[in-house]
Amino acid sequence: MKALLLVFIGGGLGSMLRFGVYKLLQLFSLASFYGTLTVNVLGSLILGALMGYLLKESYVSSNLFLFLATGFCGGFTTFSTFAFENQDFLRTGDYFHFLVYTGGSIVLGILAIVIGLYLSKLL
């Protein structure tokens, strides 16, 4: 029961932050295309930095992992929206944006994890 509560609270906080990022991007008219990409890359960066730091400190409790990685980062990032947006590109025949968005999300997401891990070594 404790594990479910940790994931629930972390996921709720991550989802609230994702909503805030979308609202911020809407102020600059960037939310429609860049919203999901931004939160997924930022979430990857956060996850890389958190896990790198925790692994470096040899302190990875299952509770902290559930709260931060599964809960917070899981609630902050959104694969389902990514998949839906890509389906929409395919449905409308916008193959260019489909390839850029899909490839960019994968490459930038992995790069963000690597950068996060690197940054955790500097702390």
Write out the binding residues.
Answer: 74, 77
HSE, side-chain direction, 13 A CA sphere, residue 78: 22
For 77, the domain range is 2-122
Distance CA 12, CA 5 (A): 10
Overall number of domains in the chain: 1
Distances (CA, A) of 16 to 21, 70, 76: 9, 15, 8
pLDDT, one tens digit per residue, over 13-67 is 999 999 999 999 999 887 777 889 999 999 999 999 998 988 887 777 889 989 9
Write out the binding residues for Na(+).
Answer: 74, 77
User: 78, 94, 98, 76: which is closest to 86 by C-alpha?
Assistant: 98
pLDDT tier for residue 76 given thresholds of 50, 70 and 90: very high
pTM for the model: 0.88
